[in-house]
Amino acid sequence: MRNIFILYMPPSNAEVMVHYEATIRQKVAPERIYQFTSPIETRRLKSIFSNRPIAVWGSRDTPANRTKFDRMNDGDEILIVEGKTIKLLGRVACKTVNPALSQELWKGLRGDTNARWALIYFIANPREIELPFIKFLGLIGFQHNYQLRGFTSISTEKLESFYAKYDDLYSILLRIKQGQGIETIMDPHLVAETTDSPYQPQDESVEEANEEVPSDHLRMQWMLLTMGRRAGEKVWAPRNDQSRISSRFEFQDFEETFAVGLNAQVKYVENIDVVWKEEYRIDAAFEIENSTSIYSGLLRFADLTMVAPNTLYPMFVVAPSERRNRVWEQLRRPTFRHLHLAEKVRYLSYETVQQVDEFFGEGDKGLNVQVLVGKSEKLED
């Protein structure tokens, strides 16, 4: 269960607002940070941020703040509130007690360099929200007149109540902002109980192991993985596939650990054929259906929809053009219709993926998830 921490930025406090602008909104060059972090901390930060600027914040080392800080884990949510507005939502990437780094980053407005904010945490995936804070209060079960003070953590009781009903906090807040409804988590076992055909995915790894020429399925995995890296994404393929992809195509650039920060979603996502992701968030998921049953890939997406119904990233079924109608037929199954899966899953042909890959060539300028969304197709009634 992920913790949720709230950082309150009082607009009337000039010192806080200057530091907020400098180290969260503008972020910090990594070389300023790495000279003060331990080798272990530096490796951790580089694995997440590479050489990109890093959002970072600190709290005073008081007994009350230390209690909250000790609860903080990698992947926890950080909600940043300015006045009465939620400005940003991110994830805890790493934390450290580091007076020297505090002195480097947060000098007093009068020039003093006291290490006043030594409880330091680095923030991954900071996303703009711009939503009234009162919307969050109702969602988490606080009274509308709740008063924020500095560094706050949500109680275990309220967290358990929230996660029993909901999945991704960022997606939920964005849906609220856009005036969309939010959905509660369903029991993923209902898929197996209500489906009208047994789930019997074929083991394509046996087929591939006996081939001298890579299958179209494996080649398409490799192509989507390399496109993801060129788009600046971290990429993932199932563990069982990674060695075969590496052997056939000399591709090694997989995300080392998929599970960090994704909680209950992990077992429903880690066996999807290709995943594009940022540090702690998924940006796109691809199921490739060449010779296997299209039903099996859609079932994995159905499972994911049930445990994470509010997520906003696109899910693609990638298949040859001659299988397009088969994808549409499968989406009309009662179980998938009940989950409104056709509203979330898009069809992307092999031919389209090849065209996009050839258009961008070895370059990365302009290649992103939205390019594939624009080239894909919704198969709704």
pLDDT of res. 191: 45
CATH of the domain at 80: 3.10.590
75 and 218 share one domain: no
Whole domain around residue 325: which residue ranges?
Answer: 189-378
Give the max Cα distance, the chain: 71
User: In this model, does residue 138 exceed pLDDT 60?
Assistant: yes
Query: What is the separation of C-alpha 317 from the centre of its chain, rounded to a whole number of angstroms?
Result: 19
27 and 153 share one domain: yes
Residue carrying structure tokens 């693609």:
316
How far lies 379's CA from each of 276, 342, 362, in Å?
22, 6, 31
CA 53, 41, 238, 89 torsion-angle sign = negative
How far lies 362's CA from each of 164, 214, 356, 369, in Å?
45, 22, 11, 17
pLDDT of res. 121: 94
In a domain, 197, yes or no: yes
196 and 151 share one domain: no
311 and 333 share one domain: yes
pLDDT of res. 183: 81
154 and 197 share one domain: no
pLDDT of res. 210: 45
Name the domain boundary from 144, 177, 210. 177
pLDDT of res. 194: 45
Residue with more model confidence, 377 or 342:
377
In a domain, 183, yes or no: no
CA 240, 244, 245, 250 torsion-angle sign = positive
344 and 210 share one domain: yes
Domain count, the chain: 2
User: In this model, does residue 286 exceed pLDDT 90?
Assistant: yes
**For the chain, what percent of residues have pLDDT higher than 90?**
36
231 and 127 share one domain: no
Name the domain boundary from 134, 152, 177. 177
Q: What is the mean pLDDT of the chain?
A: 83
pLDDT per residue over 287-326, tens digit each? 998 766 677 778 888 877 777 777 778 999 998 888 888 8
158 and 203 share one domain: no
E strand or H helix at 57, and its extent? Answer: strand 55-59
Residue with more model confidence, 268 or 357:
357
pLDDT of res. 62: 92
pLDDT per residue over 205-261, tens digit each? 434 444 555 688 899 999 999 999 998 888 999 888 999 999 889 898 888 776 555
26 and 69 share one domain: yes
Residue with more model confidence, 290 or 97:
97
C-alpha torsion angle, residues 90, 94, 96, 101 (rounded to 10)? -70
pTM: 0.75
121 and 215 share one domain: no
Choose the weakest-confidence range: 15-24, 30-39, 154-163, 294-303: 294-303
DSSP H helices in 6-118: 14-20, 30-34, 39-49, 63-71, 99-105
C-alpha torsion angle, residues 30, 91, 231, 172 (rounded to 10)? -150
134 and 194 share one domain: no
